[in-house]
């Protein structure tokens, strides 16, 4: 084994180094400003300023989950920084420590030669660190332009990626090198969590740091109240897109034969709002592993219809050594602005193969419409950032919609299918397993106007012995899991308790599981677990939409219309409860 000198986390804000490290970060003017102002700070008015700066940092740090670490890390900031300076410094600190974590993981990778599972973990970490770097730099950029909602979304993701690595390393925690790396990552996620909490407070209270406070959740009765008061149809894939390239099964007809080749042909680094690269995937079964990398933005998959255009794979964690849940995805998308319409994506590994993802997405502001996702455990990995699913069908059984994204599912059909292993014996299925780890993360799942049912086969099985076939709306994969079902139809298969614990009482006091005006035999609330909620009556329509918009995006063009009744006819009667 190679010996390494393990570094301590950077606890202070190192002024000089930051000018170099931050070059990629679009915050150069700020850093230069900070550098200059710090180097020119004088002693003449230090008393007044050091006191007021101390108060400012103290108030900002009080709003974090780890105020002690926050104060220590920012203690070398002076000259009366304003809240934006404080936040940018916290972001920079997170970024610098991420570089250190990266080099530790490289050391671990070098030391892992010949061990497949360790190598996989190390490589996965290095990959998510790259994503984390990218999102941190976007956070800083968005913040300096007053786009605080975007900053929250990006920093939430940056933190999630750091956590992902830590979480993966748990399974390789059998050397002191890994143990030390994990400890380092713990301090890194603390710094990132603190930066995120400050961004959240800046979004809620602006520069008035006296009002800043630790992140609260709906469970504490806290709702972000700035909704538009309207609620309706979300974004969609534009009609009549002209394909740039075509994928088909007929060799020699001038089209690509694999989806991946077509993706590879897309230009890199197109602006997020900019031109799309439209790939028409003709009817056919494409057996391949498709990856849309970070730099391929605005890629659009247009199929010829559900079950006509099918992308299929079978990678899985249960039967393949060195496979991870993340990598098992048949289609995995990271580039922002991804869209897909009219196709099926599946993972056919089967019910005994454990985690086997069909579709995984880290694509911010992605729109998926009229698509079908088929799998068993972990079908749809809505991993991070903001995603919109419209009129989709999602099929699975164990935790089959999961991840730590802000995802909105509208008009979707959610179907449980049998687990092949001894289906008659009975089982517990959770439809969702949202993975929010920090109360400041602006993530959550919202299901609006969806149908929760089983496939024909499953419902037959279910009705043969309803008592042993249990299906729950969700369970807390992580402590601050957040999921809401609104105006959805819940079939009989949903058990009266509604929601399922993960392990003992883990997360039960911190999660938020809400239901609002659902219908169907599974929607009866009388026997629900005490730790789930009905969206309370006092929460106005406006606050509810505020919650949804904060989860999804204010910058995204989500148009909500007011008060549509059963048949889509506007009902002007009330501001409350008429949607
Ligand atoms: C490979 O790494 C894993 C995880 O750290 C460990 O459990 C296993 O014993 C290692 N295998 C070998 C052959 O060293
Ligand atoms: C990693 O292993 C060390 C030593 O066995 C242990 O003390 C520590 O709790 C482990 N960390 C995690 C996160 O499991
Ligand atoms: C906070 O103060 C800074 C510096 O004065 C200013 O640029 C910014 O717009 C203020 N933010 C808000 C939300 O008022
Ligand atoms: C894709 O097609 C659009 C519209 O037809 C066009 O404007 C754009 O330049 C094309 N992109 C590439 C990379 O060919
Ligand atoms: C649920 O699925 C069953 C079995 O396919 C079907 O009979 C039933 O009508 C479905 N429920 C709804 C509300 O569509
Ligand atoms: C809900 O369930 C309770 C008992 O489990 C029952 O008394 C009540 O009538 C049900 N409500 C509806 C609307 O079906």
- Per-residue pLDDT of 221-254, as tens digits, reads 777 755 554 555 667 899 999 999 999 998 788 8
Q: What does the pLDDT average to over 370-374? A: 98
User: Rounded to an integer, what is the distance from CA 328 to the centroid of its chain?
Assistant: 18
Nearest atom in ligand 2 to the alpha carbon of residue 179 is 1
3-state secondary structure of 531: coil
Spatial neighbors of 527 by CB under 8 A, at least 6 apart, are 496, 497, 498
Q: Which of 395, 452, 453 to mutate to test the pocket of ligand 5 (most atoms within 8 A of CB)?
A: 453
User: Which of 69-83, 100-114, 220-234, 520-534 is predicted with the least confidence, judged by mean pLDDT?
Assistant: 220-234
Residues of the chain with pLDDT > 90: what percent?
A: 70
Tens digit of each residue's pLDDT (9 = 90 or more) over 189-216: 999 999 999 999 999 999 999 999 999 9
Tokens 């993360």 belong to residue:
441
Q: Which residues pair with 360 in a beta bridge?
A: 332, 381
Is 456's C-beta closer than 6 angstroms to any atom of ligand 5? yes
Q: Which residues line ligand 1 (CB under 6 A)?
A: 115, 117-118, 172, 174
Is a pLDDT exceeding 90 seen at residue 77?
Answer: no
Instruction: Give the Å distances, CA to CA, from 303 to 258, 308, 328, 331.
Output: 13, 8, 22, 14
Query: Other C-beta atoms within 10 Å of 246: how many?
Result: 16
Q: What does the pLDDT average to over 286-294? A: 98
Is a pLDDT exceeding 50 seen at residue 563?
Answer: no
Q: Which of 118, 178, 179 to mutate to test the pocket of ligand 1 (most atoms within 8 A of CB)?
A: 118
pLDDT confidence of residue 543: 58
Is a pLDDT exceeding 70 seen at residue 568?
Answer: no
Please report the sign of the dihedral spanned by the C-alpha atoms of residue 457, residue 460, residue 466, residue 472: positive
Tens digit of each residue's pLDDT (9 = 90 or more) over 313-338: 999 999 998 899 999 999 999 999 99
Q: What is the pTM of this model?
A: 0.88
Ligand 2 atom 9 nearest Cα: 179
Q: What are the DSSP E strand ranges found in 306-426?
A: 309-313, 331-333, 339-347, 359-361, 366-374, 380-382, 386-390, 393-396, 401-403, 406-410, 413-416
Is a pLDDT exceeding 90 seen at residue 577?
Answer: no
Is a pLDDT exceeding 90 seen at residue 43?
Answer: no
Structure token pair of residue 528: 């629900």
Separation CA 520–CA 495 (nearest Å): 12
Ligand 1 centroid–CA 475 distance in Å is 31
Ligand 6 centroid–CA 490 distance in Å is 14
Separation CA 157–CA 271 (nearest Å): 20
pLDDT confidence of residue 68: 96
Separation CA 24–CA 137 (nearest Å): 7
Separation CA 47–CA 80 (nearest Å): 11
Ligand nearest to the CA of 171: 1
Ligand 6 centroid–CA 508 distance in Å is 25
Ligand 5 centroid–CA 453 distance in Å is 7
Q: Which residues pair with 380 in a beta bridge?
A: 359, 401
Contact 459, 502 (CB under 8 A): no
Give catalytic residues, as residue numbers.
Answer: 378, 399
Is 170's C-beta closer than 6 angstroms to any atom of ligand 2? yes
Is 524's C-beta closer than 6 angstroms to any atom of ligand 3? no
Ligand 1 atom 1 nearest Cα: 115
Ligand 6 atom 13 nearest Cα: 524
Nearest atom in ligand 4 to the alpha carbon of residue 277 is 1
Ligand 1 atom 14 nearest Cα: 115
């Amino acid at each position: 084994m190679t010996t390494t000198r393990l570094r301590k986390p950077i606890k202070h804000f190192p002024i000089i180094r930051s000018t170099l490290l931050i070059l990629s970060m679009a915050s150069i003017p700020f850093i230069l400003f900070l550098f200059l102002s710090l180097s020119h700070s004088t002693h003449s008015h230090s008393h007044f300023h050091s006191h007021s700066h101390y108060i400012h940092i103290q108030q900002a740090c009080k709003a974090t989950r780890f105020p002690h670490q926050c104060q220590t890390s920012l203690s070398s900031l002076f000259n009366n920084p304003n809240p934006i300076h404080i936040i940018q410094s916290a972001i920079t600190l997170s970024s610098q420590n991420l570089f250190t974590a990266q080099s530790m993981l490289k050391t671990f990778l070098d030391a892992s030669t010949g061990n497949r599972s360790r190598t996989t973990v190390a490589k996965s970490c290095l990959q998510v660190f790259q994503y984390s770097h990218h999102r941190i730099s976007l956070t800083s950029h968005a913040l300096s332009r007053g786009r605080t909602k975007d900053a929250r979304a990006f920093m939430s993701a940056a933190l999630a990626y750091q956590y992902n690595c830590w979480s993966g390393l748990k399974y390789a925690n059998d050397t002191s090198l890994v143990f030390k790396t994990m400890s380092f990552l713990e301090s890194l996620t603390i710094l990132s969590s603190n930066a995120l909490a400050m961004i959240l407070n800046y979004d809620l209270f602006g520069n008035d740091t006296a009002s800043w406070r630790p992140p609260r959740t709906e469970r504490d009765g806290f709702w972000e109240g700035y909704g538009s008061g309207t609620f309706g149809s979300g974004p969609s894939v534009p009609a009549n897109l002209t394909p740039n390239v075509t994928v088909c099964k007929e060799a020699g007809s001038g089209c690509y034969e694999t989806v991946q080749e077509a993706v590879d042909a897309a230009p890199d680094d197109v602006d997020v709002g900019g031109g799309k690269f439209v790939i028409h995937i003709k009817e056919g079964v494409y057996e391949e592993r498709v990856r849309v990398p970070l730099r391929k933005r605005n890629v659009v998959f247009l199929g010829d219809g559900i079950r006509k255009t099918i992308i299929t794979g079978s990678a899985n964690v249960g039967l393949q050594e060195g496979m991870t849940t993340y990598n098992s995805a048949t289609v995995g998308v990271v580039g922002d602005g991804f869209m897909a319409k009219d196709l099926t994506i599946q993972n056919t590994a089967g019910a005994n193969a454990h985690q086997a993802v069909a579709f995984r997405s880290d694509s911010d502001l992605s729109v998926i419409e009229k698509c079908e996702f088929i799998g068993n455990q972990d079908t749809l990995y809505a991993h991070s950032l903001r995603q919109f699913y419209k009129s989709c069908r999602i099929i699975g059984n164990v935790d089959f919609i999961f991840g730590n994204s802000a995802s909105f599912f509208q008009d979707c059909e959610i179907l449980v299918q049998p687990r092949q292993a001894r289906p008659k014996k009975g089982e517990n299925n959770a439809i969702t397993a949202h993975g929010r780890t920090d109360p400041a993360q602006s993530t959550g799942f919202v299901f609006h106007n969806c149908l929760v049912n089983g496939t024909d086969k499953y419902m037959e099985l279910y009705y043969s012995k309803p008592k042993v076939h249990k299906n729950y709306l969700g369970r807390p994969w992580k402590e601050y899991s957040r999921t809401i079902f609104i105006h959805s139809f819940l079939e009989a298969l949903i058990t009266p308790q509604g929601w399922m614990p993960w392990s003992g009482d883990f997360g039960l006091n911190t999660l938020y599981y809400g239901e609002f005006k659902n219908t169907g035999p599974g929607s009866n609330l009388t026997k629900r677990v005490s730790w789930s909620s009905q969206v309370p009556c006092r929460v106005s329509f406006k606050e509810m939409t505020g919650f949804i918009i904060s989860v999804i995006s204010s910058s995204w063009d989500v148009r909500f219309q007011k008060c549509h009744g059963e048949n889509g006819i506007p009902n002007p009667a009330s501001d409350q409860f008429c949607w």
